[in-house]
Chains A and B, each alone.
Chain A
Amino acid sequence: MRRALPLMSMIALLVPGIVLAQDSSPGVQVKRGEYLVTITGCHDCHTPWITGSGGPEPDMKRALSGHPQDLAITAPATVSPPWGGAMTPSSTGWSGPWGVSFSANLTPDPETGVLRDFTEQQFIQTMRTGRHQGQGRQILPPMPWPNYGQMTDDDLKAVFAYLRQIPPVRNKVPDPIPPKQ
C-alpha cells in the first residue's frame, strides 16, 4: 500500500486537470451554454411564439431569431390603468413606459444578428452593465440583464459560445419605438 501513495497523489493532481480540460473543450462549453440558454428563459422572448396543437409554444425553427421583421408595429400599445404594458402574441414585442422594445436576433446571421460584431468580452460586459457592447446604448426592458449579470464569466462565455454556433436566421429586427411624449 505504501506504493499507492505516489500513485494516488498523481491521480489527485491529474484528475482535476482532466476535468478542467473537459470543461473548457468547445463541445462541453457549447452544451453548457445550451443548457443555460434553456433554463434561463432566453427562448421566452428571443424565439417567436406560435400557437401549436398544445397551445402557445416557441417556434424552434426560428429559434432565438428575435422579433419577426414582418410583424410590423408602429406605435406603443394603449392600455388603461392598472395595466402598464402589453406584449405581442409572439412574445417578442413589448410595450411599456420605455416605448416599444423588440427582442434581438441572437443567431449568428452575418447581416442581421445583433452579436455579429460582439467580442466575447463585450457580450460579458453587456450582461454586466445592461448596455450595448458593454458601453453603448441601454438595453431596454424586459431584458433581465441584472439577473444574467450575476452569472460567472465561465457561464456567460458558454452562453456566447452556444449562440455563435446555432443556425443563423436572417431576420432584421426593427428599431425600438420611443415612448409617447
Chain B
Amino acid sequence: MAKVTATEERFGSGQGRCSAAIGAVLILSFGLLKSVSAVPQPATANPPPTLQETGLYADFAALQVDPAHLAFAPQYPLWSDGAAKRRWISLPPGTAIDGSDPDAWIFPVGTRFWKEFSFNGQRVETRYLERRADGQWLYAAYAWSPAGREAQLVPVRGKRGAYPLAGGRSHMIPGVTDCKACHQGGPSEILGFSTLQLSPERDPGALHAELQPAPGLDLRYLVDTGLLVGLPQALLDAPPRIAAATATERSALGYMHGNCGHCHNERGSLQNIGLVLRHSVKTAGEPAIASTVGQFVKKPAPGQSPNAVLRVEPGHPERSGLMQRVSSRYPALQMPPLGTELIDDEAVSLLYRWIAEKGASSQQAHVNKEGE
C-alpha cells in the first residue's frame, strides 16, 4: 500500500509525468492483451471423475437412469465394432433446442448427452458431452469396471484394450482429440441427434437399426413437447428422407450419412476434398451420389489399389475407391479412420450391392436411350 501511495505521489508531481505514465500504461496494456491472445487457452472445465457425477442415474447402485432424461435412437447409427448402444439427452428445464437451421441445431447451455457402449451384454464405456456456459462442449468418456459397478473418467489420450474383439483386436476408447476430430468436422458437434436422424419417416432398411426406445422421440415429439423450436414447418409436414432410386440406395446413402458424413460434408474443414456424404435437409438432390459416382479419386491413400480410379465406378464395386477404404482396417487406408477396429461386413455387403446395382441401372438407362 505504501508503494502505491509513493507511486501516486510521484505521478502527482507533474502533469507531464502523468501523461507519460498513462501513455506507457496504455502501450503496455495493448502489448499484454496482444500477448495473452497468443497463449493457448486451457480447457473450460474438467469433467467429473466418475460417470455417476454426471447425473445420468437417479439411483446409481441400481443403475437406474434418471427418468427425466430422454432416451433416443438415430435412424442411421454409427457402427462401432458391433457395440450395442443406448443414448440419452437432458435439456435444462424450460429450455429448447433451436432448429432454425435444420442442418445445425443449436443446443442450450447445460444440454447433456450420454452414449453407452456394450459388448456381449457387458457395459464397456459411456461417453459424455455437455454444453458449457461459454458455449463449448465438454468431452469425456467413462470406462466401466469389469463387474459393471463403477465407471471412471478415461484419460484424455483414451484407453486401449477396453474390450477384446475378434482377430486379436480390441476396442479402444478414443481420446478427446479423436472425439473432436469427428464431432468438430461439420456444422454441429452433435452428430446423432438431428433432423434426418430423428425423422418420423424412418428407413426400414437402415443398417444396424435399433428399436426406438420409449417415449419414441422424433421430430414430432420434440416439437409437440416444446423441446425443439424454430424447425421449419415444411419438415414436419413432409418429414425428411433420403431421396434414392431404390431401397438399397436409400440405405447405402443413409449408412454413409451416419458413418462418414460427420467428416465428409459440405461445411466442415474437409470440404475442399469435394466428397459430401452427409445428407442435407435443406438442399435438393443427394450430394453423396454427385460426389462419388463417376468421380475421380483425388489422392489415393497408402495401400490403395491403383485400379481404383473412381470413388464409385457403377457396376464395379471391387475397383471403386470407396469400397477399398471401407473394406480395410489397415490404419493408413481404412474408413472410417478411427473409432472402429473391425470391418463392418454388413456395410461392405450393402455398399457392394449398391454399386453393383448402380451399374445395372446405368446399363438399362443406356439401353433405353438407344431404343428411343
Contacts and interface: CB of A to CB of B under 8 A. Distances in A.
Interface of A: 1-2, 4-5, 8-9, 11-13, 15-16, 19-20, 117, 119, 121-122, 125, 128-138, 149-150, 152, 154-155, 175-176, 178
B349 interface: no
A176 B301 CA distance: 11
B272 interface: yes
B269 A121 contact: yes
A-B pairs with lowest CB-CB distance, top 9: A1-B16, A8-B23, A12-B26, A175-B302, A16-B30, A5-B19, A129-B177, A135-B181, A135-B263
Interface in B13-53: 14-16, 18-20, 22-24, 26-27, 30-31, 34, 38-40
B337 interface: yes
A135 to B, nearest CB: 5
Given A5-B22, A122-B269, A128-B177, A136 B337 contact: yes
Contacts of A5: 15, 18-19, 22-23
A138 B272 CA distance: 20
B256 interface: no
Contacts, number: 100
Contacts of B180: 129
B40 A13 contact: no
Given A12-B26, A129-B178, A175-B332, A152 B40 contact: yes
A164 B234 CA distance: 47
27 contacts: A2-B19, A5-B15, A5-B22, A8-B20, A8-B22, A8-B23, A12-B27, A12-B30, A15-B27, A19-B34, A117-B272, A117-B273, A119-B269, A121-B269, A122-B272, A129-B178, A131-B337, A133-B273, A135-B182, A135-B263, A136-B337, A137-B302, A137-B333, A138-B331, A154-B38, A175-B303, A175-B332
Interface of B: 14-16, 18-20, 22-24, 26-27, 30-31, 34, 38-40, 177-178, 180-182, 185, 263, 269-270, 272-273, 298-299, 301-303, 330-334, 337-338
Nearest to A150: B40
A19 B33 CA distance: 13
A137 B331 contact: yes
Given A8-B19, A121-B269, A135-B269, A152 B26 contact: no
B14 A1 contact: yes
B272 A20 contact: no
Given A16-B27, A135-B185, A135-B269, 16 more contacts: A1-B19, A5-B19, A9-B26, A11-B27, A12-B30, A19-B34, A122-B270, A129-B177, A131-B178, A131-B337, A135-B263, A137-B302, A138-B338, A175-B302, A176-B332, A178-B330
Contacts of B333: 137
Given A5-B22, A119-B269, A176-B302, A137 B27 contact: no
A73 to B, nearest CB: 14
Contacts of A131: 178, 181, 337-338
A129 B180 CA distance: 8
A178 B26 CA distance: 58
A11 B23 contact: yes
Contact of A137 (B18, B178, B273, B332): B332
Contact of B269 (A11, A134, A154): A134
B16 to A, nearest CB: 3
